[in-house]
Chains A and B, each alone.
Chain A
Amino acid sequence: MLASKSLGTDFHQSEKQTLFRFLALYILLTVIIISVFSFIYFELQKDLMLQEKKSTLQKYSKELIENLKQLHINFDKTQIYPRSTEFESAIFDNEKKLIFSTTQTKLRLDKILYLENGIIHLVNIPESYYLGARYIIVKIKDDKEWLKQTKKEIIVFSSLTFLFMLVIGYLLLRLFLKPMRDAITLLDEFIKDTTHELNTPVSNIVANIEMIDKSLLDEKLLKKIQRIDIGAKTVSNIYQDLTYLTLGNEMISNNEDIDIEQLVLERIEYFTSLSLAKKIKITCNVKEKTILYADKFKISKLLDNLLSNAIKYNVVEGEIIVNVDDREFSVKDSGLGIAKNDISKIQERYKRFNKSSGGFGIGLSIVSRIAKEYNLSIDISSKEGVGTKVRVSW
């Protein structure tokens, strides 16, 4: 979202999801790569430390072997195991059975030099098995200085790499988004230009039709005029939608208390000629009067889109029921309905699931944007072949 904002592009939900997925995958991959390199570096540092300590351990081991040799020779006189303050030790026979150990910890003989539980171990095999000792282990405590240093280095290196990769990721994102941004800008520019050119002729047609005295017209001409009226209103509607869509963000809201019942009746009246063309019956049920504090033009746009869709996607001789209740209204049609899987995507811009009727697929996108602006809740329920109900509540 931050990226899309900073790039000045209003992305769709699915596009945002793609961006987030890309970012998540990129970050995950970066973290994995850094972790792998950190692990390899850690292991190398550990090996380096072990090699440095090896000579000390070998010296202790040699000292222990010498003492074991003396004890082996004098075992009939003394049985005191040779100990040292500098290291711990243990001896095993060739079947890896413990002969003696200065500590109680469990020891491994499968490695020559290893670090376990903060103790460095060296396994040595003497030339002669004094006291039967085939394996001699000497161990010293790890001072962990190398660990502190390595941790510090890994944190610094990982942080710098992560930041570097983030910058690279951001640049990549910009690169990937460019064609998408260009396409959306181009479409918006096209709509803006088209609507601007449509404005004057459409206004002229609508104004002139309204000025015609219909009582003077014969039936045949009246029908023709009504058809022109429907056509002009449809074009006017599309023009308003497109204007809202392209200039929506720049429009200043003029909020006021709107009597929803009155607005609904006004808009039904406006769509009467359209609905009559398809012989659709529009019923309005007002259960309770309700008021909404919002911009009248925008709510009117919202309602127009719902009514327009209900007419557009309805069957001939169908029915539309508009209900007004406390803090809600709904538009229900007896149309084609929307598939269950498509309901969640219906509010996306330019998304159309039925191409049999005209339109740009922007109607519900506008509804969704207006609803979002005024915190209105949109609930769409639909059944294919039965109809769709859109409920708006606040």
Chain B
Amino acid sequence: MPEGITVCLLVEGSYPFITGGVSAWVQELIAALPHVLFKLFTISPAAKQVLRYELPQNVVAHRDIVLNEKARSRGRLAGGRAAFVTAIRAMHAAFASQSDPCLEEVVALMPPGSFPFEDSVREEEAWEMIVTANAEHNPVYPFSEYFWSWKSSHDMVLRIMAEELPEADLFHAVCTGYAGLAAVTAKLRTGRAFLLTEHGLYHKEREMEIKRAQFVKGYQRDMWIAMYNGISRLSYRYADVVVSLFEQNRRRQIEMGADEDKATVIPNGIDIPRFSSIVRRKRDGFHVGLVGRVVPIKDIKTYILTAKIVAGWIPGTTFWCIGPIDEDQAYFEDCRSLVESFQLTDSFKFTGKADVRSFYEFLDVLLLTSVREAQPLVILEAFAAGLPVVSTRVGNVPELLDYDERFLASSKDAEKLALAVRYVHGHPDEMRAVSAKNRDKVDRFYDKTEVFRRYGAMYTTLSGKGAEWPG
């Protein structure tokens, strides 16, 4: 029996406290590799959150830290405050010149447990660094605004870097950001491997949030965006393997500093038999379904508008909105009123949380109206169940749909989506052929078992333990 592998899994703002795509993936990964011991290190915005997942038995430890919470320093900086500030300054200079910053020196000077929250501003050189940066970037607005932004961003970074991570054979971060930074630090301290998996692109998601936020103003926006780009670049640079879900994101990771030879694609996978075993039963009428939460990112209003157009063209169509309705009450109310106003109450159904398989039995087409997706599992599920799919052109969807413009539309283009649904309705024979091709594609590329087998193999290689992979 080979020696077991222990993986420290670093997760930020999701598993096991928040449900969603990444969380579900983490849960499945852990469950799929029962011979691997997992130590969870999670980074949360608030303390004492309720667990939304039952942790599998091979999770042997779980430590949650709150990003904004100050920890009590248990150690002192090696080499003193001045040397530390000099190293930080060199790192800033590297970021500013777009060259690769070296974190080795900063980490070497910062033993685990030494939280230099105050040192970073009390040292004369540090103070001068802040004043100089303010003069350069923010000279006409109050210094206090700049100072506190600088301080809070650095406090969070230092909080993460000073944390002592659980002992493990390798560190696997499920995003860049603070989780990735913690993994970089752990790698530099222990010499153990760092595996990075990104479902979306963390820095792009943060950038989008910051740009939309009304409370982050002027230079502060640039500063936060630059910081998130910076820490993502660190993850890409130091990771031993960088995994993305699809090629387009892999290219972006390489643009941000990931080594081309270390960047690889492992797509999402599904439990194929769970969906391919569904027996399709034709129901009277035509049935369109959207599987997703009722939240703005899924753009349910565009679905409703599409429904209104399709209802005019194909009488007797029923529209199913299959997913939780309680995540954004105001949005759900607005959608519900819109359905009423369009006089679709009899034909448009909000199911709430439900077992999607019972709907895949009779749906004639799956419609996705999201404005943002990475690699939507619902499309793979629909493919496995034998359903045609119509979707907005987001994330990896065009590739999944073979760039077939008959089934793709721009976000919010209800008319084009409706035309695509009408096409599906009008070409049942062709749809059978398309569905067979899609099912074959899922079989070949998106089998969950194969996806997690690849992770198991990577764990074996990166841990250097050479444990055999069962099967």
* Chains A and B come from one and the same complex: no
